Amino acid sequence: MSPRIRKYAVALITVALAWAVDILLEEKFSESSAGLYLAAALVSTWQGGLGPGLLAIGATIGLNLAFANHRELSLAVGAYGYERIMLFTGIALVVTSLVDRIRRNQQQLADLNAQLEDKVKQRTAALNESNRQLEAFCYTLAHDWRAPLRAVEGVANLLASEHPPKLDADTTAAVRRIRNSAERMGRLILDLLAYTDLSREDFQKTVVDLNSVTRKVLCVYSDEIERAGAEISVELPATRVMADPAGVERVLMNLVANALKFSRPDRRLCVRICSEKEPPNVRVSVVDNGIGIDSRYCERIFGVFERLSPQDNRTGTGIGLAIVKRSVEKMGGAVGVESTLGKGSRFWFSLGAAPQPSESLPSQVTTERHRETVEA
Ligand code: ADP
């Protein structure tokens, strides 16, 4: 049966049902209950549109007229019967056309929504494609720049190491500037490559033990920690996340490096690495009492090449936090920062929690204990 015919059949069946119920209820109500037929007309319109609705009204009128003189068949017209039929017809027509209009509006809205979703999907695909091309371009550019840069660096190094007595002061200063710039550009290129590499990298999801990653990271930075005389504390009651081990390590490396780098010279640096359960995630924070960040820039610093105080941070490239954000997002997590200028910052990332071990792990590792671990 075609859908169109089915809609009209539904209208007739609905009226027949209303008629059957009306006959069953006849004992209770001495008159025919017009509400049932009105409901039949509404249901038919809602299901199939104006045509089936009008058919339901027509069928109701036909039944009324056909059985006008048979009270036992319920649709007896009775007293003021024809007036009631006319009233029913008027009300049914008005209500049916209203329902039909609402139905068509809803249909249009659903169509528009579907079109909008389609457009959003197309635009997102186009955007992703152009992002991919842009990243491929950046990657190629960064890759190809390394060779000429190495040549510049090589020549500058040669000049500085082999000909210092022959060079006057101005030339020596110029060579030093070339070397510094080449070195900085080399760092930028490497960071850019690391950033673009993230889009190619496949992140796995396994159980990562935050304790061992933190230990590894602190071990890498042990010299800097020692030099800064920093107090490091680790509180990791929630120790396991579902993530990529190298990804988590990279994120922690960047956050700890920044905490060590952006310290205040006038107070002892304290860095706390802690975690808390935030079902279904675990939130890991790196808290410092360093220079802090103006809240206006807290979003911005996660962008590529964003640096707030380049004069205090000559070695920085402004890519570290962009790498952090992209890595965490690729692992299905989120990152953020809460900071007060001059007081310190709390950089956090949250990742899906993995089943935690039942035994309780060491809850606090102070600088001394950290040293023990590093030395061991
Ligand atoms: P980089 O450290 O190479 O400059 P990042 O992307 O890691 O780049 O950081 C971007 C900027 O965010 C930094 O230049 C600095 O201004 C700010 N920043 C990052 N971490 C901290 C921190 N712990 N305390 C204060 N400022 C920070």
Residue 47 Cβ < 6 Å to ligand 1: no
Query: Which residues, 6+ apart, have CB-to-CB distance to 102 below 8 Å?
Result: none
What's the confidence (pLDDT) of residue 77? 61
Cα–Cα dist 188/225, whole Å: 25
CB of 313 within 6 A of ligand 1: the answer is yes
Q: Which residues, 6+ apart, have CB-to-CB distance to 21 below 8 Å? A: 36
Tell me how long the chain is: 376
Tokens of 327: 């890595």
C-alpha–C-alpha distance, residues 350 and 248, integer Å: 11
- Across the chain, which has 376 residues, the per-10-residue mean pLDDT values are 87 91 75 80 91 93 82 63 82 92 94 97 94 83 85 86 74 87 87 83 88 94 92 90 93 95 92 93 95 90 82 76 94 94 95 74 43 41
Report whether residue 301 contacts ligand 1, using a CB cutoff of 6 Å.
yes
Residue 363's pLDDT is: 42
And the tokens for 239?
Answer: 């120790």
Distance (angstroms) between ligand 1 centre and the Cα of 250 equals 15
pLDDT at res. 311: 65
pTM of the model: 0.65
pLDDT at residue 200 in the model: 76
Provide the Cα torsion 83, 86, 92, 98; round to 10°: -120
Rounded to the nearest whole angstrom, what is the distance from the C-alpha of residue 177 to the centroid of ligand 1?
A: 24
Q: Is 209 helix (H, G, I), strand (E, B) or coil?
A: strand
State whether the beta carbon of 89 lies less than 6 angstroms from ligand 1: no
DSSP state of 359: S
Is the CB of 308 within 6 Å of ligand 1?
Answer: yes
What does the radius of gyration of the chain's CA atoms come to, in whole angstroms? Answer: 38
